[in-house]
Structure 1
Amino acid sequence: MTLRLGTRRSALATTQSTWVADRLRVLGHDVELVEITTEGDLDRTTPLATMGGTGVFVSALRDALRDGRVDLAVHSLKDLPTTPEIDLVVAAIPPREDPRDALVARDGLTLGELPTGSTVGTGSPRRRAQLEALGLGLEIRELRGNVDTRLARVTSGDLDAVVLAHAGLRRLGREAAVTEVIDPIQMLPAPGQGALAVEVRADDTATRDALAALDDADTRACVDAERAVLAELEAGCSAPVGALAEIVLGDEGDELSLRAVVASPDGSGDLRRSATGSPAHADAVGRGLARLLLEDGAADLVPVDSLSASAVSTPTTPPAPSNTERPGA
């Protein structure tokens, strides 16, 4: 049986899907790539936040799964809405590429070396908010288009710099263009950034079994924690929320270390907190950290339609065995 793999048509999406297909072929499966055009691919000028966030890249692929045109679909995990789909399941999350953001700037400059007033392009409210919060006097410009289109804005002199996901640049072989990989202390990435999600129909046990070998437990735990922060904040994919989880060696073995930030859209303020816990309780660790952020004032940093303060008094998940930290604690 040939597995039909649904992919967006962009160079990055095709590269990511081919990577998954090649690993399935090594396992003995026949795989055919099926190109699917999404709303986000057709409209490359409207800001993603206006179109409804990065979920605009997902719906057409999910429609193709549901109507049987494809058997599996590969998404950039950060594009997936946090609300679960009853009839679909993420059957595999392969090992993650570098989750950090990267700067591509003229003359090999880093963020700290860009002169005041330099123009920096990004289509992400999260990146915009954290760049503004750094107080470097940069002028942030809206940015859309595929990776090469964005890079061309710098080489043409239209922009002084752009910020992109390091993972995408690495997958496309464009790492030589990177002038700085941005430290998460300055800019926390989007929840799930750098990871892929392979989605299938929940009742398709044969395809789920075929994908089981591609799933990486550590990556799944990390992205589950990060996405739990986003889900508990009820922020949606386009809200200025960053999160990064890592598996580290603790006193009693593997430990999940999670950091998150909520920033005001104009960069006038941000709130950063951290938590640790067991990888087995990744979702609860993330939700607990989100509640700490809300208790400490996260809802005051963004519009009321982006964060729900009700989560402070009505937690949706019982507390997990974890340790949440405020700076200086």
Structure 2
Amino acid sequence: MSKVIRIGTRDSELALWQAKNVQAALEKLGHKTELLPVKSTGDLNLDQPLYEMGISGIFTKTLDVAMLTGKIDIAVHSMKDVPTALPKGIVEAAVLIRANSKDILIHKGLDFLNSEGTIATGSLRRKAQWLNKYPSHSSVDLRGNVNTRLKKLEDNNWDGAIFAAAGLERINLTPENSLDLDWMIPAPAQGAMLVVAMENDTETRDILKSLNHRESEICVHMEREFLKILEGGCTAPIGALATIEGNEISFKAALFSLDGKKQVSIERRIAIEDAPNFGKECALKVLNNGGRVLMEGIKEALN
């Protein structure tokens, strides 16, 4: 390919790491690239909880505009930040091999787990699951990039904060005082990186096919299909995780009330060949098993 592939990315340390990872893979294949960092609306407004901002794709919209106006050729995202419906003209071009999908707790000692405590997180999903397990605890909102959130935890009297394990691992910031939250269901597509391109740019899309990891793609699409049917996005506490084990896919997912007191969950195993539409099937079961009423209550509380 003779043209330079212009790579759009947010300008946080983690986003740049992800984009440089894609850049290195493309250059290894012999392609010329250029990195173009931008600030997203979600990065600029750190004073307001995400669910209050009412914008779909708060971390991706700026890059969408840059792509649609021809300023960049591809964009690299944390897939969990990407809306389930992409803007017209933009398509998924590659899902990279998934990293650690877990959430982890960064703490100042674990004695508080058996008493009262305060946890920091900007995620309704993490807050709901934490309060479900630790109903005597309280939570505070925490926004910003990874480095900013770690500094805020250090500067405040909170007992701990919840992070995506993959984000800390990618930029070598996982501290010793961390605990894997094996019981917490992650966000759909957590730990996965997505590269998007223009639908009509067949040359670039053909190149990106070689970066796609099929097993990761199958799993995250199932999780995001579940999310889409439940109408989640950033406005509902929804977790979903699909993992491939041999010739089967193990799928577990749940919808929680905002206070964590109620949940509707599902756990199933299927053959890999039955993957298409399975996320939708599971979401409909959750909706019909009390999830629809739960979603109505969540929307009413957030509006």
Cα deviation, 1:290-326, whole Å, max 9, x if unaligned, reads: 111112111222335749xxxxxxxxxxxxxxxxxxx
Which amino acid counterpart does residue 174 of structure 2 have in structure 1?
E
Which amino acid counterpart does residue 17 of structure 2 have in structure 1?
T
Which amino acid counterpart does residue 159 of structure 2 have in structure 1?
D
Tell me the residue number matched to 2:221: 224
Tell me the residue number matched to 2:267: 274
Contact preservation (8 Å) 2:113, 2:134? no
Tell me the residue number matched to 2:278: 285
User: 1:56 is paired with a residue of what secondary structure?
Assistant: coil
Q: State the shift of 1:271 in Å.
A: 1.6
Structural RMSD (CA): 1.8
- 1:71 paired to 2:70: no
Cα deviation, 1:6-47, whole Å, max 9, x if unaligned, reads: 000111111111111111111111111101221111111111
Tell me the residue number matched to 1:30: 32
Kindly, what percent of the aligned residue pairs are identical?
37
Which amino acid counterpart does residue 258 of structure 1 have in structure 2?
F
Show structure 1 runs of 4+ deviating over 6 A. none
The aligned runs of 1:294-309 (5 Å cut-off) are: 294-304=287-297, 306=299
The aligned runs of 1:155-304 (5 Å cut-off) are: 155-177=154-176, 179-183=178-182, 186-249=183-246, 254-304=247-297
Q: Separation in 2 of the partners of 1:274 and 1:55?
A: 28
Q: Separation in 2 of the partners of 1:237 and 1:210?
A: 32
Q: 1:239 to 1:213 in 2, by over 3 A?
A: same
Which amino acid counterpart does residue 296 of structure 2 have in structure 1?
P
- TM-score by length of structure 1 reads 0.86
Q: Of residues 59, 76, 81 in structure 1, which corresponds to 2:61? A: 59
Runs of 5+ consecutive residues of structure 1 not aligned to the other structure: 308-329
Which amino acid counterpart does residue 142 of structure 2 have in structure 1?
L
User: 2:130 is paired with a residue of what secondary structure?
Assistant: helix
Q: 1:305 to 1:113 in 2, by over 3 A?
A: closer
- TM-score by length of structure 2 reads 0.93
Contact preservation (8 Å) 1:225, 1:282? yes
Q: Separation in 1 of the partners of 2:235 and 2:177?
A: 24
Q: Separation in 2 of the partners of 1:121 and 1:70?
A: 35
Which amino acid counterpart does residue 95 of structure 2 have in structure 1?
I
User: 1:244 is paired with a residue of what secondary structure?
Assistant: strand
Tell me the residue number matched to 1:104: 106
Q: State the shift of 1:203 in Å.
A: 0.5
Q: State the shift of 1:276 in Å.
A: 2.6
Which amino acid counterpart does residue 255 of structure 2 have in structure 1?
V
Q: State the shift of 1:156 in Å.
A: 2.8
User: 2:43 is paired with a residue of what secondary structure?
Assistant: helix
Contact preservation (8 Å) 2:57, 2:83? yes
Q: 1:279 to 1:67 in 2, by over 3 A?
A: farther
Q: 1:158 to 1:149 in 2, by over 3 A?
A: farther
Runs of 5+ consecutive residues of structure 2 not aligned to the other structure: none
What number of residue pairs does the alignment pair up? 298
Tell me the residue number matched to 1:81: 83
